[in-house]
Amino acid sequence: MNLEGRRYLVTGAASGIGRACAVLLSRLGGSVACMDKDAGGLAETAALLEGDRHHAGAFNLREIAEISAHLQTIANSFGKLHGFVHAAGIPGTMPLKVLTPEAWRETFLVNTESALALTKAFQNRNVYAGESGSVVFITSVMGIVGDKSNVAYAMSKGALISVTRSLALELASKKIRVNSVAPAFVRTPMYAKAEQVWTAEQKAMVESLHPLGIGEPEDIANAVAFLLADTARWITGSTLVVDGGYTAR
């Protein structure tokens, strides 16, 4: 699990799972480039990182056409990357009867299309360090099981699982591994926002779906670090479910 001498990009690093990943990677000796559209949250994350070999810069992943140039800029100033974690995402929870094309396209853009654009930019020889390559997408159990009023989110995360498998095969020749982590409900700002509108019964129902209880961001970060490090050197194209037992039913 030693990441000394390796450099990683973490999207969605301003809070939640992205922040937990950035902090853990720094504690394991890695250098971390933090990306998020929330500049204030990025500054808070940067203050939590161990060491002084890190980078933080605001960027909106909706700007798909600018991702390649942005990663090139990071590589030029920070150093070529050994991998990245795509933790940025938006919920897209909405009943089908009110779901609009604009809404589902927005969800797919941020959750899935940006992941593909990031990988395309990363594998370029001007960005990729050329060794120990590892990509980890944060997908969701909603891409594996069904859930009412969540079709846009499920579409984006289910597609990301398929993207993982295809990219793993295509990039193996470059010694880049591609995997995903699929969490269930985790105590992030996104979860806290949803929790505010739940009734006591709804909250109890969600909690009951997790035999081991609701997860913490650090639970997902631990799985991400395992997949990035040489501990997972013979794993690619896989989706590691970290869900407190959610999908065991």
Query: What 8-state DSSP symbol labels residue 175?
Result: T
Residue 197 burial (C-beta neighbours within 10 Å; 0-12, 13-18, 19+): exposed
**Measured between alpha carbons, how far is residue 45 from residues 14, 35, 61, 66, 117 in Å?**
6, 10, 18, 24, 24
Structure tokens at 123: 């594998």
Number of Cβ within 10 Å of residue 144's Cβ equals 18
In the 8-state DSSP scheme, what is residue 215?
A: B
**Max CA-CA distance within the chain?**
53
Amino acid at residue number 179: N
Q: Which of 58, 69, 55 is nearest to 8 (CA)?
A: 55
Q: What six digits make up the tokens of 210?
A: 């997790």
- Catalytically active residues, by annotation: 153
* 240 in Cβ contact with 177 (< 8 Å): no
Tokens of residue 113, six digits: 């299309």
Q: Where are the alpha helices (H) located in 28-150, listed in sequence order?
A: 39-48, 67-78, 101-108, 114-122
Neighbour tally for 131: CB within 10 Å: 11
As a whole number of angstroms, the distance between CA 146 and CA 246 comes to 12
